[in-house]
Structure 1
Amino acid sequence: MEILAILIVFGLIFTVITIIFSFIPVGLWISALAAGVRVGLITLVGMRLRRVPPAKIMNPLVKAYKAGLDVTVNQLEAHYLAGGNVDRVVNALIAAERANIDLPFERAAAIDLAGRDVFEAVQMSVNPKVIETPNVSAVAKDGIEVKVVARVTVRANIDRLVGGAGEDTVLARVGEGVVSTVGGMANHKEVLENPDAISHTVLNKGLDAGTAFEILSIDIADVDVGRNIGATLQTDQAEADKKIAQAKAEERRAMAVAKEQEMVALVEEMRAKVVEAEAQVPLALSEALREGKLGVMDYYHMKNIIADTEMRDSFGRMTESSSEKSNPHDPAKGLGPDVSE
């Protein structure tokens, strides 16, 4: 029984020691002391209580101490609690120190919290980056399309990384400058002969204002001739004018057809009225005979006049028909020259 009690006591002691050593990073504390960084165990325990992994603070702290940087535990822990990347900030500070770039810890932390890669920004300040624009389509004054691809060499501007525009803004401004420069040239041959004129003009516009970069150079990588935009626009305009003219002609034709139909209806109406009036003539004659206003001899005399008129009309039509047969090329009919002359 005594042996069992001794084993239980040793087991409890071992468990307590294991829990203590798992909660207190003694090994991390010893490695920090070996590197010359003096941090108390209470500080490491406080990190545990604040749910801050001690390794994510101590390892960058040791790295910064070895690089000769003046960084405290509170600064690194505060940046970690704010959601920043402590290791990346320390790497950026070390790189800036080696490159003789003035980068305080507060600015590096602000850049990191702004969502930018501060370490990459420091590297870009030392080693400029080349970004290539997409195919920019511009049209010269002669209407010929020119496709330009430019390579922009940029260097990160540490002072404007917080609040400065990114690469997309730089590319958009360069594309706008290319379009305006090509559009100001008299013809596309000038662009092909002097592509460097585009880079010089665009570079002098100060396109890096308000961005997180400093434009070092703009080089024209490729220039191609595209479509004849001017001719295409003229063709489209001519086609549009043609359709407008056809629409107006169709409108006039429709109005003429409507007018013709209106005249036909009017003629039919007048013809109906004439037929109606002619139908009233026998009634009027009979009424005049009954009332004595028209005698029988007067009626027969009128019928003779009508018959004589119809006979004369018949003779006139026969004369005109025979005249047309004898002179088929009558100039009055538009069929040929007058042979009588």
Structure 2
Amino acid sequence: MIQTMLVIGAIDPLAIGGISILVIVMLGLVIIAIKYGSLWFEGYNCGAQIGLFELVMMGLRQVNQKSIMKAKIKAVQANLRTEKDKTPGEEIDGTFVTTQRLEAHYLAGGDVNKIIEALVASKNAGIALEFDQAAAIDLAGRDVVEAVRTSVDPKVISCPDPQRSGKEFLSAVAKDGVELKVHAQVTVRTNLEQLIGGATEETIIARVGESIISAIGSATLHSDVLQNPGMITKAVLERGLDSQTAFEIVSIDIASAIVGENIGSRLQVDQAEADTRVARAKAEQRRAEAIAVEQEQKAEVVGNQATLILAEAEVPKAMAAAFRTGNIDTKG
């Protein structure tokens, strides 16, 4: 017993501390291997080139390692350019999908899986799209995958859109006064270069609608538009309505055109009725003025008669005065 205590006491304290540290390190490595081993092994087999230390650091930075690993594996399997494709002396440009870029995009609040899906779709379609551009589109709140798909497969926008405006037709009047109600289909393709900061579908719908109304209003006869709707779409396309928008207009088609009211004839009838009412009012005014003049003349006649009666009443008085003064001689 005493010999055992002497042996233990003879052990160097530094050795004990080193052994403790080694045990802690080994225990930490075991924990790391248990927690990240399967994920690292999956990435290693797929050529993702994300080490255990990188996975640990991601965890410390509150990054979802599984999302980063799956995105990197998907990028490798799709033959996107990653760190392993870098040649000596080559700089990593926007075409590379690196672990650092994926992690930075995740920390910025982006969706790394959508970024990879968009890059894969753009590569398969032969569209130039770099990682930084796709990340900027995603962080701007746009659906980058849908943007790439629309760039490859154009979509159709209704003008007007009943769901947005509650209207099914645009109403315009040709020079002959006949109203036309039209519904247009606008085929657009996403312009990836202007997707960030570019105007949205609402602007396209508003511009196209305004131009269609203007074009119909410039037509001499409504029948010309019905016989040749292409004259309207051609005039609209020539105006460059997709400028500063997130889309490129591929085509504009008049889906339906309905003849509405004859606005010109209705306005003429309304004008004639208004002219009739004005003429009646003026005639009534003249009649009232004539009646007023007649009444004034009657009043003047009555006044003259009263003056005559007063004058006649003065005659006997004048004769009597003349008799008294002897100015009238009654002898024959």
Smaller-chain TM-score bracket = 0.5 to 0.7
Q: Over residues 16-44 of structure 1, what are the superposed CA-to-partner deviations in whole Å (9 max), with x where a residue is unaligned?
A: xxxx9xxx9x7467525532333242331
- 1:45 aligned onto 2:78: no
Contact between 1:144 and 1:229, CA under 8 Å: does it hold in 2? Answer: yes
Return 260-269 or 220-229, whichever deviates more.
Answer: 260-269
Q: Which residue number corresponds to residue 206 of structure 2? A: 172
Q: CA deviation at 1:86?
A: 4.5
1:33-112 aligned within 5 A? 34-35=42-43, 36=48, 37-38=50-51, 39-47=54-62, 60=71, 63-64=74-75, 66-67=77-78, 68=80, 70-72=96-98, 75-76=101-102, 78-79=104-105, 82=108, 84-112=110-138
Match of 1:114 among 140, 148, 152: 140
RMSD: 3.4
Secondary structure of the structure 2 residue equivalent to 1:262: helix
- 1:239 aligned onto 2:265: no
2: CA distance, partners of 1:273 / 1:32 = 131
AA matched with 2:60: V
Q: Which residue number corresponds to residue 137 of structure 1? A: 171
Q: Which residue number corresponds to residue 125 of structure 1? A: 151
Which structure 1 segments of 5+ residues have no match? Answer: 1-19, 302-341
Q: CA deviation at 1:293?
A: 5.7
2: CA distance, partners of 1:271 / 1:128 = 98
Which structure 2 segments of 5+ residues have no match? Answer: 1-27, 82-95, 161-168
Secondary structure of the structure 1 residue equivalent to 2:244: coil
Contact between 1:32 and 1:62, CA under 8 Å: does it hold in 2? Answer: no
Aligned length: 272
1: CA distance, partners of 2:323 / 2:74 = 141
- 1:219 aligned onto 2:219: no
Return 113-122 or 267-276, whichever deviates more.
Answer: 267-276
- 1:152 aligned onto 2:181: no
Q: CA deviation at 1:121?
A: 1.1
- 1:199 aligned onto 2:233: yes
Q: Label 1:208 to 1:132 Cα distance change in 2 as closer, same or farther (>3 A).
A: same
TM-score where L is the length of structure 2: 0.67
Contact between 1:289 and 1:295, CA under 8 Å: does it hold in 2? Answer: yes
Q: CA deviation at 1:231?
A: 1.5
AA matched with 1:95: A
Q: CA deviation at 1:125?
A: 0.3
AA matched with 1:246: R
Q: Label 1:40 to 1:268 Cα distance change in 2 as closer, same or farther (>3 A).
A: same
TM-score where L is the length of structure 1: 0.66
1: CA distance, partners of 2:151 / 2:241 = 18
Q: Label 1:100 to 1:275 Cα distance change in 2 as closer, same or farther (>3 A).
A: same
1: CA distance, partners of 2:37 / 2:312 = 132
Q: CA deviation at 1:126?
A: 0.7
Could you tell me the percent identity over the aligned residues?
Answer: 49
